[in-house]
Amino acid sequence: MTFRSLTRTVGLLALLLLPLVGAQAQANRIGYLDPDIIIVQMPEYTQVRDSLQAREQLIAGDLQQRENELRTKFQELQELADSPVLTADARQEREQEILTMQADLEQRQQVGLQELGRYEAQQLQPLLLRLQEAIDAVGDEMGLALVISARANNAPVILYASDAAVNITEAVLTRLGIEITSDAGSN
């Protein structure tokens, strides 16, 4: 087989496969959305947000109380520092008590943050499930092969989307029965 006939055969094969590639590209449409925009517009989100804020205030109140106790103990120690009433052993005991209280406060801060994270995940779970069901339904209706998030941790993930990619944020909002606001399809 000569180079010319090989080139002609490859060219003919490419022409024959071109419609298949186009059809495959059409079949594998990609959709994207911004789930954060949708979640904050879901009616249940207000309840979740309020519940989370209440839990956060409860934890913050406990931490503030402990911090005030620590501050009071420290001030008492400073006031007694020059007093002949406070022995070296008593001073060391109070310093150790303050260090223990400070370590306890720091540990409770960490535990509080972890608790808030778990609580938020627990409270958001029903919303995320409902959102996923709507995404699945819209994706099926629109014949999408893949749906991706336009954002992650408040940073854009999609830097470019051609006309072949479909923003389904508004379709999912509609599916959930949420009124579309002007910023819903901005991505």
36-64: string of b/e by CB count within 10 Å (b at 16+)? bbbbebbeeeeebeeeeeebbeebeeeee
Say yes or no to pLDDT of 154 above 80: no
Task: Check the CA dihedral 38-42-48-54 and report its sign.
Answer: positive
Say yes or no to pLDDT of 186 above 80: no
The whole-number pLDDT of residue 3 equals 38
Residue at 48: amino acid letter = V
Say yes or no to pLDDT of 54 above 60: yes
- d(C-alpha 124, C-alpha 104), whole Å: 30
Angle subtended by helix axes 88-142 and 43-80, to nearest 10: 170
The whole-number pLDDT of residue 181 equals 74
The whole-number pLDDT of residue 71 equals 96
The whole-number pLDDT of residue 47 equals 96
Write the DSSP assignment of 5-60 as a string of letters: HHHHHHHHHHHHHHHHHHHHHHHTEEEEE-HHHHHHHSHHHHHHHHHHHHHHHHHH
What domains lie within the chain, and their CATH numbers?
28-175 (3.30.910.20)
Reported as a single tens digit per residue, the pLDDT across 68-99 is 999 999 998 888 877 778 888 888 999 999 99
- d(C-alpha 155, C-alpha 158), whole Å: 9
- d(C-alpha 180, C-alpha 187), whole Å: 14
**How high does pLDDT run on average in the chain?**
83
Supply the pTM of this predicted model. Answer: 0.68
Burial class (CB in 10 A: 0-12, 13-18, 19+), 170: middle
The whole-number pLDDT of residue 56 equals 97
Say yes or no to pLDDT of 24 above 80: no
The whole-number pLDDT of residue 84 equals 79
Alpha helices, DSSP H, located in the chain: 3-27, 35-41, 43-80, 88-142, 169-175
